[in-house]
Structure 1
Amino acid sequence: MAITFRKSFRILPGVRLNINRRSWSVTTGGGRGPRRTVSSTGRRTTSMNLPGPFGWRKTTRRRSG
Structure 2
Amino acid sequence: MPITFRKSFRILPGVRLNINKRSWSITSGGRKGPKRTTSSTGRRTTSMDLPGPFGWRKTTTKRRGH
Q: Which TM-score bucket, shorter chain as reference?
A: over 0.9
- Tell whether the 8 Å contact from 1:16 to 1:28 is kept in structure 2 after alignment: yes
Instruction: Structure 1: give runs of 5+ residues left out of the alignment.
Output: none
Cα separation, 1, equivalents of 2:64 and 2:17: 25
State percent identity of aligned pairs: 82
SS for the counterpart of 1:64 is coil
CA RMSD in angstroms comes to 0.6
**What displacement does 1:63 show?**
1.1
Cα separation, 2, equivalents of 1:40 and 1:22: 9
Instruction: Structure 2: give runs of 5+ residues left out of the alignment.
Output: none
More strand by share: 1
* Residue in structure 2 matched with residue 37 of structure 1 by the alignment: 37
SS for the counterpart of 1:27 is strand
Q: Which runs of 4+ in 1 moved over 6 A?
A: none
Aligned residue pair count: 65
Which amino acid letter does the alignment assign opposite residue 35 of structure 2? R
- Tell whether the 8 Å contact from 1:30 to 1:48 is kept in structure 2 after alignment: no
| TM-score, normalised by the number of residues in structure 1 | 0.97
| TM-score, normalised by the number of residues in structure 2 | 0.95
